Structure 1
Amino acid sequence: MTQIVQSNTGVTLIGGGETDAETLHDALRFAPEVVAADGGADVALRFGLRPRAVIGDFDSISAAAKAALPEGALFPIAEQDSTDFSKCLRSVAAPFILAVGFTGARLDHTLAAFNTLALHPGRRVIVLGGPDLCFLAPPALALNLAVGSRFSLFPMAAVSGHSRGLRWEIGGLRFAPDGISGTSNEVAAESVEVTFERPGMLVILPRVALPTVLDALRAAPGWE
């Protein structure tokens, strides 16, 4: 698919789900370029933001939002085999993407957002929702986090790995969506290291860890 947006900075991608001014402020501090997924255009405009591009199947963007934005910023993609989130990830080239408004409002939309992360293992994408953030683990990741912090893992595929610095280390475990998960683990040392043999593991941390996570993801190897 042709790249609709190419950015040298991080992109804040706004969806049509729940978000608030604080979450948007957190995202825009690190990712000043704004793109909206379909009805996320209405959310962006409500917070006084004008997205550089609106991408999606346009089944939820309002007529008022369409009228408020230049025609050159509207990029409808008619196919129905992927989510608007996925359409955006295929169409935006950026060092990283912070996604807001993709969780909270509906459980099916939240699950679809996590599924989309798993479908795009080569992208550095962090979903911000409420007090949490979520991203797909790269092959190796090193994070400096406060001892006692929550460190949750949830598999979107059968995956195994190793860790150092967690209260319950993960070596020897075989994770799967219908089997073992790693939620509610804790940081037990100042530095946490995790490695995985294949894509598919979601990492869920408190949102206050965003600056640390961004630095770690940018330094981490990617999935080929």
Structure 2
Amino acid sequence: MNVVILCDGNPPRPEQLKEALEHSSLFIAADGGALIASQMGVKPDVIIGDLDSYSVTGNEHGDVIHDPDQETNDLEKALAYAYKQECENVIVFGATGKRLDHTLKNLSVLKQFDGQFKSLQFKDKYSVLFLLPKHFEMELPLHTTVSLFPLSGKVEEIHTSGLKYALTDGTLENGVQDGSSNLTVEKKIEIFHKKGDLLIFINHKTDK
């Protein structure tokens, strides 16, 4: 089952959200994400969180789950709910932007839940990001901007092909070397790594 989660960070483009919803079976708003959903004219099946941003009206389309636990944030609550519903493929909008500490926390949550789903992706107006398996390959349009980021602080033994700036047995480390703003020079890219947690950012082709 496919699920879309909407958080209250920077919102996606309306058409971007609606397209994702057309291919999903469940739409979850994480607390303040319900306000963004309302502004875009879409109705969540579930609203979940500590509800410090969203006030219940009684006219909700779906279920409202108040979870006051302060040891987990609203995205964690939404992902835990999706896991209990046996969802397999998760797209999260609004997990980035606005407060930087919230963005960093949500990246930690991405790592925490990554192994519990077949796929778990964050999307925004500019890019899609997700954690890479040890061997990854994908076809992309030529000259697509691709960035690699060592989420665990250091990622070792990285090999890439199909990118302008190739790595062979390379290492990416926060504060030492990063892999931002690379470009695809072949339609198929391949990325291998052996140690660490490696994020990929694939930029959308958009001028908006």
Q: Shorter chain as normaliser: what TM range?
A: 0.7 to 0.9
Whether 1:165 aligns to 2:162 is: yes
Q: Distance in 2 between matches of 1:198 and 1:117?
A: 18
Secondary structure of 2:149 counterpart? strand
Inter-CA distance 198–60: structure 2 relative to 1 (3 Å threshold): farther
Residue 89 of structure 2 corresponds to which residue in structure 1?
96
Query: In structure 2, which of residues 24, 40, 49 is the aligned counterpart of residue 31 of structure 1?
Result: 24
Q: TM-score of the superposition, structure 1-length normalised?
A: 0.79
Stretch moving more, 137-146 or 111-120? 111-120
Indicate if the aligned counterparts of 2:9 and 2:96 stay in contact, CA closer than 8 A. yes
Give the number of the structure whose residues are more often helix, by fraction.
1
Distance 1:208 1:127, change over 3 A: farther
Q: Gaps (5+ residues) in structure 2? A: none
* Identity within the alignment, %: 27
Amino acid at match of 2:71: D
Query: Structure 2: how far apart are the matches of 1:196 and 1:76?
Result: 40
Aligned residues, how many?
198
The question of whether the paired residues in 2 share the 8 Å contact of 1:139 and 1:199 is answered with: no
User: How well do the aligned residues superpose, as a CA RMSD in angstroms?
Assistant: 2.1
- Paired letter, 2:5: L
Would you say 1:21 and 2:14 are equivalent positions?
Answer: yes
Out of 123, 132, 143, the position equivalent to 1:128 is: 123
Task: Determine which of 187, 191, 196 is the counterpart of 1:190.
Answer: 187
Measured in 2, the distance between the counterparts of 1:56 and 1:98 equals 18
Unaligned stretches of 5+ in structure 1? 1-7, 210-224
TM-score normalised over the length of structure 2: 0.85
Using the TM superposition, give the Cα deviation of residue 198 of structure 1 relative to its aligned residue in structure 2, in angstroms: 4.4
CA distance in 1, matches of 2:174, 2:81: 28
Structure 2 residue identity aligned to 1:14: L
